Amino acid sequence: MSLGTFGNRAGAQPGDDRMLEVPTGVRITLPARPGGADTPDGKTALAAVGTDGSDAGTDGSTDGSEERVRLDARMLLDLFHANDYRIDAVRSGELPVPRLVLNDLPPALTEIADSSERKAVFVKTMLPLVLIANERIERDRARLQKLHAQREAGHEPAPQDRVWLEQIAAQYGLETDGGVDTRALLRRVDIVPPSLALAQAAEESGWGTSRFAQQGNALFGQLTWSEEHEGIVPRNRRAGESHRYRSFDDVQASVDAYIHNLNTHAAYLPFRTQRASLRRQGRPLDGYTLAAALERYSERGADYVRAIRAVMRSSRLRDFDNAVLNGAWTAPDAAEAAEAMVRNAVAGTAAGPMPAVQTVALPPRKPSATPVGTETASAEATSTQATRTEAAGAPAAGE
C-alpha cells in the first residue's frame, strides 16, 4: 500500500480542512510535522489498510475525491477508542490490532506529559505497522517454503515460480548465479518479532520524540551516504563526514527499511542464524532472545543489547509478539463512530454519539526529557556505525 503524500483533492485550497468520508476505512490528516515542509493539506496521516495489504485507491476513496481534517491528540486518542484499540486487550489476546496506519508520527507525542500515556500512544502507532510489514513477509515466506519443499522432493518450480524466486532473491540481496538457493533465502525472508522492533524504535527515537523521528520518520537510526536518499544531518557530525540519518516519507517505509536491513545486511548474519535456529527447534521467535545477536547494530555493543532488553522488560513488549491484525477493514460500528467524531470536530460541536473516553490533558508546550530538536537515544552514532546503513552489502558467507 502506498502511504506517501497524496495529491490535492479537486478544488481544494491549501489549508482547506474537511471531513473525509471513505466507505471502506478512515483517513485523517495530522498537522504538519514541526520543522517539516509538509502543509496540513498535503499529507495524509491515517489510513485503514485492506486485509491483504492492498490499497483502496490512491487516496483511499472510491470516487477519486479526497478530503481532509486536522487531527489533534484528543482526536487521535478518540479514534483509537472508536476502534476499540486497547493495549491491555491486545496484550491478553482478547482483541486483535486494528489496521490503523499513521503516515507520520504524531507531533503531540512530544506534548503528552504522562510518560506511560506517551509510550502507549507510541506503541499503538507502531504496532500495526510492524504487523503489516511482517504479514507481507509471511505471505512471501509461505510461498517460498512451498517451493523449497518441492525442490527437496525433487520437483523443479514452474517457470513463473522461477521468475518469482529470482525477483525475491534480488530483493533480498542474494546472488542467483547457478540458481536460487531457497534454503539460504528462507533465512532472509522472515519476520522480526514486534517486541524487538518496538524496543529498537523506542530506544533509537526516544519513544518517537527525537528530531530525526519527528522531522523524518527516522525511527531506527539508519545511516545513509547515498545522494539518492533523503536524510537529516546530525548536529554532532564532524567536518569531513558525509553521513546522514535516512528520512522516510512515511513511518511504514521506515519500518520496512529497518526489517529489510536486518534481513539482508552482512552485519546481521548472527541475527538471521539465531532466528533460523529457533525455527528449526520449533520455538517461537522471541525478541528478547534475538536481541543478543544485535551487538553490531550500535557502537554501544553489549550495552545496547542490555538497553533494548530493558525497554522490553519495563514496557512488557514481549506481550505483543503474539499480537495479530484484525481480519477486516475498520469495523462498521467503529467507522461510524470515528466518522461522527470527525464530523463533530469539523463542526466544532460536542462529541455526540462518540462514547465518553479518558483522554490526556495536553499542557502548554514545554521542554521535556526528550523534546523535539534533541538527538536523543542511541541515534547519536558517528559515521563509523556503518551497520545501520540501508545498504545490504555483499551476501554473507553461507547465505
Total tally of structural domains belonging to the chain: 2
Last residue in a domain, options 161, 188, 215: 188
- Specify whether 64 is located in the same domain as 161: no
Is position 201 within any domain?
yes
Percent of the chain with pLDDT over 70: 61
Is position 321 within any domain?
yes
- Specify whether 241 is located in the same domain as 118: yes
Is position 180 within any domain?
yes
Last residue in a domain, options 147, 173, 188: 188
Last residue in a domain, options 173, 188, 203: 188
Is position 116 within any domain?
yes
The answer to whether 334 and 99 are in contact (CB under 8 A) is: no
Q: How far apart are CA 27 and CA 4, in angstroms?
A: 13
The answer to whether 92 and 238 are in contact (CB under 8 A) is: no
- Specify whether 219 is located in the same domain as 310: yes
pLDDT in tens, 142-195: 999 999 999 999 999 999 999 999 999 999 999 988 889 999 999 999 999 999
- Specify whether 288 is located in the same domain as 180: no
- Specify whether 110 is located in the same domain as 121: yes
* Coil vs helix vs strand at 223: strand
pTM for the full predicted model: 0.72
Per-residue pLDDT at 162: 94
Kindly provide the residue ranges of all beta strands, DSSP E only, lying in 230-315, ordered along the sequence: 231-232, 244-246
Cα–Cα nearest to 111, from 388, 366, 326: 366
Residue 316's CATH number: 1.10.530.10
- Specify whether 220 is located in the same domain as 169: no
Question: Helix 115-152 and helix 251-264: axis angle, to 10°?
Answer: 50
Per-residue pLDDT at 246: 80
- Specify whether 62 is located in the same domain as 111: yes
- Specify whether 103 is located in the same domain as 178: no
- Specify whether 223 is located in the same domain as 291: yes
pLDDT in tens, 323-346: 999 974 433 344 454 455 545 544
Structural domain containing residue 163 = 136-188
Q: Is the dihedral of CA 133, 137, 140, 146 positive or negative?
A: negative
Top mean-pLDDT range of 63-67, 253-257, 361-365: 253-257
Element (H, E) at 288: helix 287-290
